[in-house]
Structure 1
Amino acid sequence: MPAPSTNSDTSLQETLGALHQPLRGRDDLSPLVEQLADARIVMLGEASHGTSEFYVWRAAISRRLIEEHGFSFIAVEGDWPDCYRVNRYVKAYPQSGDHAESVLRGFDRWPTWMWANWEMVAFTEWLRKHNARADGQPVGFYGLDVYSLWESLDAIVRHLQHNDPQSMPVAERVVNCFQPYGRDEQRYARHTAVSHHDCADEVTRLLLRLAHTHPHFDADPEGDFDAEQNAHVMVSAERYYRTMMMGGAGSWNLRDTHMMETLDRLMQHHGAGAKAIVWAHNTHIGDARATDMLADGMHNIGQLAREQWSAERVRLVGFGSHRGSVIAGHRWGAAMQKLPLPAAPDDSWEGAIHRARGKDGILLLDAERPDPDLLQARGHRAVGVVYDPEWERGNYVPTELARRYDAFIHLEETRALHPLHIEASRAATPPDTYPWGF
């Protein structure tokens, strides 16, 4: 996108320089943590799914919010069944695993590195130890995403076989409806587009059944909630894959609406006074109305949370880096690679902050009285799981920084994430966000 007028460049540099607070260690987070402490929902972003420092700093902020301000749970841009295994582990439920590494290796759907990485192993082990020594309700870890159609069905079947066999006929009708498509989402979606026959009624009946039956799960105090949420995922996933065939903003909006509805259910599950931390890509947590997503008819969870809970109770924190390296694939399902992250152009937000200070830092933004310099629509880097450094200029989202976020963390140089898996596996069908995969 074209750079803003050079007449405003000096003013912008002065504004960014005045706002910039150095970020050298955990203690430097205190002004940010103080701003976030009274929120009911704090969303922490990332400019890529393959950057070590984004995970490390989100973990550091989350630790302080949990330890010092009693936040209740973390919800991430991940599949419900996989993340629920992590939830069981950090709460030391029976037969939940012996080590975070083995639990996180269960994230074997491409892109595996998003949650199966050593940065997450460290945070997961910390969270389990925190829960073991803390009083009151343990802090949970859950997934918000919509992709796990088959995995959620498998989880429901296992639950019913062991705890509610009388409900198995309802689940079997769902299994039978999907059986001809061989666990291939695109095949299912193409067939429904042509035949106008789908499995929507079957998955809805399964959800209603689970919502009205509550067997006792001896090994899992949240078993009912888990089973019902998997049914919600199936309802949304079935619609999502059918909507993908239509193109446009529909499938994106359905996905982020599902994320918001899942967050709402988690808030209700944790009771009055619950406080949530969300980890997701900037493209999900930064208010869509402050980007070109608005013109395309798209919304996201950051926007929906502000609209539903009010801006005073929701805090959105964006992340970005000037240069470095990143884990990604050259195409969907390809082997992960460590790729260079070129220096951001001067006319981007990352480039402007680099020129203003050239150091890691935090910008606390004032949404009520934003500085006009921070309302310019400048490019803001967004790297997905598929990335080609040679096409770097296409990875910038026009952004009004002070409207998109309540705070922004700028890092000068970042490193690639440290994956657990050496090779990618289970190369799934690309979702509607391909080739970005946010």
Structure 2
Amino acid sequence: MTDKTTQEMNFDGLVGPTHNYAGLSRGNIASASHKGLVSNPKAAALQGLTKMERLIDLGIPQGVLPPHDGPRISVLRQMGFTGSDADILQLALRANPALLANVSSASSMWTANAATVSPAADTSDSRVHFTPANLISMPHRALEHGLTQRILSRIFVDDAHFKVHDALLMNPMLGDEGAANHNRLCKSHGEEGLEVFVYGRAALAARDDDPTFPARQTLESCHVLASHHGLSRAHFLRQNPAAIDAGAFHNDVVCVVNEDTMLYHALAFETPDQMEADLTRACDPLGFAPRFARAEIPIEDAVKSYVFNSQLVSLPAGSMAMILPTETEEMPSAKAYVDSLLADGFIQDAHYLDLRQSMSNGGGPACLRLRVAMGADAMGAVHSGVVMTKDKIAALRGVVSNHYRDRLTIEDIGDPQFLTDVRETLDALSAVLDLPNLYDFQKDAA
């Protein structure tokens, strides 16, 4: 199936009011190195909105996914804390600050981990398929999939165009990290493509060279995802353990793909020459040959600069551009690689944006967005409240400016007044996005 009206829409995660630096993500070097610092949720959310506005200015459809709520009082109750919400917060802060940090994480902002998405051109029923990621490898992220599924089901509600699956079984064998380990090669967004699943380990066949840091995506989960989405063309690649141990906890830290173009670090995959040959062979029946641009820069520079955790996007005129963090511009080796991509015609423009609040927790431009390729009819069926316009961005900026704090510590999170403030903020955000009764606390109040 080919749909010439198909465009890719980026759904960015709006940074939530609990954005903090708790250092919860083992294997994420930026997260670990900023543990305990004071965060600025207001600046983080405003930086994200500026990125969304830049995509709109480039003529690329832009959506938003609302933040998750927190601290998650319901989880603390399930873990044995009792009393009023205020009592529970203060008890958790005194008894186990690490637990409070885990139930207060704003990590849902990185919507590249929200789900795996297969466009209609690839699926057996010609619908866009979503499977929320179970994120089982990290305790704080394993709390997300239920609300993520609720959000996706509210936004992509029309079952003539969309299918939202349940998350995979919450079993370590099926560790699934979403689109951060999933790529798609195609001639254009509306034509059938080759979906490329990248895994860190085979859960049922451990190897001597498995990485020291968590290899979060399993081969077994990739197979189940391809089956659930009804894919006829899927390819499975193992991420290089050396890349994971260097800080590439997801493949999108060392590789980015758009249409027929793959940009990747030389250590992203174990056998890069064989990988390129295999993908070229697999794409031949689809009528195109992929373009590869391999970088030989130090892996430490790639991880620190997040040059591959950039958005590689198709512009309306048919060219490609990269949306990069300013850290890439400040790293000579990474900047030289981007300049070579411009010189060689792989991309036609590079936009450097300040996303330092997100970057300090290990999330760059690509982490902040979920890519959804859709035809015009499907795009028209998306819940209009989350489709970004300049006016909608201005309204969200107003909520952020009026409600978000400009400094946050774990002690602040344990303050009952903070919980009240967060819930008032989420009420305001869900009103702007026309998503009433989205959160459990809103349902309880109703």
The answer to whether TM tops 0.5 is no
Using the size of structure 1 for normalisation, the TM-score is 0.31
Higher helix share: 1
Q: Whose RCO is larger (CA < 8 A, sep 6+)? A: 1
Name the larger-Rg structure. 1
Using the size of structure 2 for normalisation, the TM-score is 0.31
